[in-house]
Structure 1
Amino acid sequence: MTNRTAVSQAKRVVVKVGSSSLTLPDGHLDHERIARLAEALSALHGRGVRVVLVTSGAIAAALAPLGLRRRPRDLETQQAAAAVGMGLLIRHYSDAFAEHGVKVAQLLLTVEDVLRPKTYRNALNTISRLFRLDVVPIINENDTVATHEIRFGDNDRLAALVAHLVRADALVLLSDVDGLYTAHPDTPGAEKLAVVEDVAELKVDTSRLGSRVGTGGMQTKLQAADIATQAGVSVVLGHANDLERALAGEDVGTYFPARKKRRPRRLLWLAFAAEPRGWLHVDAGARRALLDTKASLLPAGVREVKGTFAEGEPVEIIGPDNEPLGRGFAGYSSAELASEAGHSSNEAGHTNQRPAVHRDVMILTD
C-alpha cells in the first residue's frame, strides 16, 4: 500500500480526461462516461474541494454530427471539427453537472496562456473567481486556433500547468489504460508500476500510442507527471473507470508523489513551454562548471552564439558535443553576447561583464 493522503486529503484537485476515455469504440461521445465523471466530481465539489476539469474530446464530439468516421488528419478539418464539437461537449457537461446542482464554466486556454507573465495572472484570476462563485471550471485547449498542440495531446501538459497555476494538491490523469507499464500493456511480460518516484529515472517503452481517437500517448502523460511533481503536485495516472478510487487515495493506477521543492512558475515555463530564441554553444570547461559546481554561465565559456534574441529571452545551452545541457534566460542580447563570447572579465574592454546566463534563471536538462 502506498500513502496517497496527498490525493485523498487534497483541497484542490485537477482532473484531466482524454478523448479515448470520453468516446465509444465507434468514435461517438460516451454520454454515460460523462455522467459518471460529472457525478464523481460533483461529489468532490460538494465536500468543499476546489475542482478543475481539463478535458479533451471537442473533436471527438463532432465526429458523429459531421458524419466523420474517424478523427480527421488534416489540420483545417481538425480545427473545424473542434469548432463544432466544443459547444456540443460543454453542453453535455453542463447538463450532466446540473443533474447534481453544480454549475460549470468553459475556459479555452493554451499552454502559453497559463505561463506567459502577461496572461497567466488573468487566467488565475478567472479561475479563482469561479471558485468563489461555486462554479467548476472546465478547461480545454483552444483547438480551433491551435497548431502543433492539436496533434500532440497537449491537454496533458496543459493540465499539469493548470495544476501548478491553481496550486493544486493533486492531479488525476485519466486514460484508457489502468496505469504505467514497463512496456505496452499488450507486450508479454509488461508490468504495471504502482509508484514512480522520479520520472527522469524511468526506463519504459512509451513509443506506442493508446487509441485512434486521442492524440496523447503515454509519453505526454509522463511529461505531465514530471511537470506536476516538480510543481509540488502529486499525480495519479489511471483508467477513467477508477476515478472515484483514485480520488479516495486507493492503490489504483500509477502514483507519482510530489517533489518537496516546488519549482517557480517561470522556470517551469522555461523547461516545458518556452521556445528558445537562441543557442549558446559552450566549451568543455563551461560544461563542467555548469554540471559539477552549479555555476552561472560566463561569457568566457561561450564558443558560439546562434539566433537573434534580446536580453531576458530564453536560450538553449549546447555542450561541446552538441548535446543539450539546459536552458536559461539570456543576460545579454545576441549581438552583445557575441562580442563578449570567449572573453574573460580580466581582459581590457570586458571588465563589466555579467553572466551570460545566471544560475538562478537556468534549468539543466537532467
Structure 2
Amino acid sequence: MKPAQRSNGASLTIVIKIGTTSICDEVSHFPILSNLSGLVETVLKLKSLHHRVIIVTSAAVGTGLRRLNIATKPSGLAARQAVAAVGQGRLMALYDDLFGQFNQPVAQILLTKNDLSDRSQYLNAVSCLDELLQMDVVPIVNENDTISTQGIRFGDNDTLAAVTAGMAKADYLFLLTDVDCLYTDNPRTNPDAKPVQVCEDIGKLRDQVSVASGGSALGTGGMATKLIAAELATAAGVTTVITHGSKPGRIFEIIDEKPSATPLHTRFIAKNNPMIDRKWWILHGLHTAGTIYVDQGAAKAVVAQGLRSNLFAAGIVDVQGPFNIQQAVNICLRLNGQDIVIGKGLVNYSSSEISRIKGHNSTDFTNILGYINADCVVHRDNLVRIVEEEQVTTSAS
C-alpha cells in the first residue's frame, strides 16, 4: 500500500466520486447547491495543500430531466441518452460556474469502456489525465452516456471512478454517497445494522453484509457497486473510502488518519502488491470476448505462486467464442459442473484456431493450421491470475 503522505506536505492524488443523490434532488431534480459548493470548496482546499484532485461525477440524466421538465427517467435507451446529452452540458456549466468563482479551470472527460479497450487509447487517456493535473486543472470525468450501449458501459460511475483511480495511480478514491459508510444491512430498514469501518478482505466482507438494495430512482449504483469499485481500486493500490456526500470536508480528517478525530466512514485497505499497469488494464479495462477452458494441470500452472507460466494449447480442453487475435478472454477451470474463472488474458490465436489446436503441442501447429503465430495461446506477460493457488487446489480435492 502506498504510504499516506500527510504531515510532510507531499502531494496525494485523490479521486472523488459524487453520486446522483448528492447532486440532484430525487423529486424536483433541482441541483443541491450546498453539496456542490461544499465539494468545490473541499477540492480547492485540497489543491491549496498541493494535492492533485480528480472528480468523477454523476447526475447528467437528473440534470437533463430538470432542464427538460420531465418527471421520471425514461426507460428507453435512446431517450435516456438524449436526456443525458442535455444534462451533461448543464452539469458541466454548474461545475464551471462554481469553480470559476475562484478562477480554477476544469476539464470535461467523457469515457466509455470501449475507449479504454484499445491499449493506445488507454495510454492516451492516462497521459491526458496526468497532463491536466500537471497544468493545475481539475478533471471532471463522466461516462459518455450519449454513445454508450449496454455492452460497452462501465455500468455505473462507481466502477468508472475505480478505473479512473487506477489510471491516475491515485492514493485515495472517495465514494461520496447518501450514507456515512457501509453497513452490515440497510440502516434505513434495519435498526440493528452495524457500520463497517475497516475492510482488508472484500471477499470475506461479502459474506458478512447485505448490499441487496439498489441505487436511487435517478442513479444506477448502490452499495453492491461500491464493493465492486473498492475491489477494483484496491487491486490497483488505491485506498478506497465510502463517506457521506453532503459532508465532503470529512476528507481532510480521513486522510490525516487521526483516530480521535476521524469521522464515520468505511476504509478499504489497498493491496500491498498492486497489479502493474498493463495487467490491471487487461483485467479491468478490456471487454471479455470469450472463454477458454483448461485442464487442472494448466490451471495450476496459471495460478501457481512464483511460476510464470504461459498458457499452452496442450492444456486447453474447450473454447467459447467467437473472438479474434489479441482480444481478452476468461480462462476457466470446470470442476463438478461449476466454472471457476482463474485468469484473464490476451490471446495469440482466434477462437476458431484454438478450437483446432486445443490439446496439441506447438510442434503440431504448422501441420494443423499451416502456420504458427506463437508457441503459446496466451503469453505470461499478457496473463492475469484472478484466484489464488489454494483455491484451485482446494476445489480440485
Pair in the same fold by TM > 0.5: yes
The alpha-carbon distance between structure 1 residues 149 and 190, as it changes in their structure 2 partners (threshold 3 A), is farther
Indicate yes or no: 2:275 matched with 1:263: yes
Residue 67 of structure 1 corresponds to which residue in structure 2?
69
RMSD of the alignment, in Å?
A: 2.7
The alpha-carbon distance between structure 1 residues 126 and 192, as it changes in their structure 2 partners (threshold 3 A), is same
Which letter does structure 1 place at the counterpart of 2:172? Answer: A
More moved, 58-67 vs 8-17: 8-17
How far apart are the structure 2 equivalents of 1:360 and 1:329?
Answer: 9
Residue 44 of structure 2 corresponds to which residue in structure 1?
42
More moved, 71-80 vs 86-95: 71-80
Which letter does structure 2 place at the counterpart of 1:244? Answer: G
Alignment of 1:166-185 (within 5 A): 166-185=168-187
The alpha-carbon distance between structure 1 residues 115 and 252, as it changes in their structure 2 partners (threshold 3 A), is farther
Residue 117 of structure 1 corresponds to which residue in structure 2?
119
The alpha-carbon distance between structure 1 residues 23 and 358, as it changes in their structure 2 partners (threshold 3 A), is same
Give percent identity, aligned residues only: 37
Alignment of 1:186-205 (within 5 A): 186-202=189-205, 203=207, 204-205=209-210
Structure 2, unaligned stretches of length 5 or more? 255-261, 388-397
Indicate yes or no: 2:303 matched with 1:298: no
Residue 97 of structure 2 corresponds to which residue in structure 1?
95
Residue 165 of structure 2 corresponds to which residue in structure 1?
163
Indicate yes or no: 2:353 matched with 1:336: yes
Q: CA deviation at 1:284?
A: 3.5
The alpha-carbon distance between structure 1 residues 256 and 275, as it changes in their structure 2 partners (threshold 3 A), is same
Q: For residues 149-176 of structure 1, give each alpha carbon's deviation from its aligned partner in whole angstroms, at most 9, with x where no partner exists.
A: 8987421111111112122111111111
More moved, 51-60 vs 314-323: 314-323
Residue 395 of structure 2 corresponds to which residue in structure 1?
none
Residue 12 of structure 1 corresponds to which residue in structure 2?
13
Residue 134 of structure 1 corresponds to which residue in structure 2?
136
Checking the alignment, whether the CA contact within 8 Å between 2:362 and 2:376 is kept in structure 1 is no
Which letter does structure 2 place at the counterpart of 1:256? Answer: F
Checking the alignment, whether the CA contact within 8 Å between 1:279 and 1:318 is kept in structure 2 is yes
Indicate yes or no: 2:329 matched with 1:315: yes
Structure 1, unaligned stretches of length 5 or more? none
More moved, 190-199 vs 261-270: 261-270
How far apart are the structure 1 equivalents of 2:59 and 2:113?
Answer: 17
Checking the alignment, whether the CA contact within 8 Å between 1:175 and 1:238 is kept in structure 2 is yes
How far apart are the structure 2 equivalents of 1:114 and 1:93?
Answer: 25
More moved, 41-50 vs 282-291: 282-291
Q: For residues 175-221 of structure 1, give each alpha carbon's deviation from its aligned partner in whole angstroms, at most 9, with x where no partner exists.
A: 11211112222224321110111222222222211321211111211
Checking the alignment, whether the CA contact within 8 Å between 2:113 and 2:286 is kept in structure 1 is no
The alpha-carbon distance between structure 1 residues 303 and 78, as it changes in their structure 2 partners (threshold 3 A), is same
Residue 357 of structure 1 corresponds to which residue in structure 2?
378
How far apart are the structure 2 equivalents of 1:311 and 1:206?
Answer: 38
Residue 240 of structure 1 corresponds to which residue in structure 2?
245
Checking the alignment, whether the CA contact within 8 Å between 1:331 and 1:354 is kept in structure 2 is no
Checking the alignment, whether the CA contact within 8 Å between 2:172 and 2:239 is kept in structure 1 is yes
**Structure-1-length-normalised TM-score:** 0.89
SS in 1 for 2:382: strand
Q: What is the aligned residue count? A: 363
**Structure-2-length-normalised TM-score:** 0.83
How far apart are the structure 2 equivalents of 1:150 and 1:297?
Answer: 27
More moved, 158-167 vs 293-302: 293-302
SS in 2 for 1:242: coil
